Amino acid sequence: MSGVVKGRVAVITGAGQGLGRSHALEFARQGASVVVNDVGEAAEQVVSEIRAAGGVATASVGDVSDWDYAAALIDTAVSTYGRLDALVNNAGLVRDKMFVNLTEEEWDLVLRVDLKGHVCPFRHAAAYWRERSKLGEVVTARVINTTSGAGLLGSVGQSNYAAAKAGITALTLVAAVELARYGITVNAIAPAARTPMTEEVFAETMAAPKSGFDPMSPDNVSPLVAWLASEESGDVTGRVFEVQAGIVSVADGWQPGPSADNRAKWDSSDLGPVVRRLLAEAPAPAPVYGA
Q: How far apart are CA 116 and CA 65, in angstroms?
A: 5
The per-residue pLDDT for 216 is 80
30: pLDDT strictly greater than 90: yes
CA 88: distance to chain centroid? 7
Q: How far apart are CA 131 and CA 138, in angstroms?
A: 11
Does 197 map to a domain? yes
Percent of residues, the chain, with pLDDT higher than 70 = 94
Pairing of strands 56-61, 33-38: parallel
What's this model's pTM, rounded to 2 decimal places? 0.93
Residue 155's beta-bridge partner residues? 289
For residue 152, give the H/E element and its range: helix 149-153
154: pLDDT strictly greater than 70: yes
* Structural domains in the chain (count): 1
Percent of residues, the chain, with pLDDT higher than 90 = 89
Q: In CATH, what number is assigned to the domain containing residue 168? A: 3.40.50.720
Does 270 map to a domain? no
Does 261 map to a domain? no
Residue bearing the bigger pLDDT, 199 or 217: 217
223: pLDDT strictly greater than 70: yes
The per-residue pLDDT for 126 is 99
The per-residue pLDDT for 193 is 84
Does 167 map to a domain? yes
Could you list the active site residues? 148, 161, 165
Does 143 map to a domain? yes
* pLDDT category of residue 215 using cuts at 50, 70 and 90: confident
8-27 pLDDT tens trace: 999 999 999 999 999 999 99
Domain that holds residue 66: 9-250
Does 268 map to a domain? no
> DSSP 3-state assignment of 146?
strand
Does 224 map to a domain? yes
> DSSP 3-state assignment of 143?
strand
The per-residue pLDDT for 143 is 99
Look over the chain and give the mean of its residue pLDDT values, rounded to a whole number.
Answer: 95
Q: Average of pLDDT values for 191-209?
A: 67
189: pLDDT strictly greater than 60: yes
The per-residue pLDDT for 212 is 81
Does 35 map to a domain? yes
The per-residue pLDDT for 208 is 75
- What is the number of other CB atoms lying within 10 angstroms of the CB of residue 68? 10
* pLDDT category of residue 198 using cuts at 50, 70 and 90: low
> DSSP 3-state assignment of 153?
helix
The per-residue pLDDT for 211 is 72
227-259 pLDDT tens trace: 999 999 999 999 999 999 999 999 988 999 999
* pLDDT category of residue 194 using cuts at 50, 70 and 90: confident
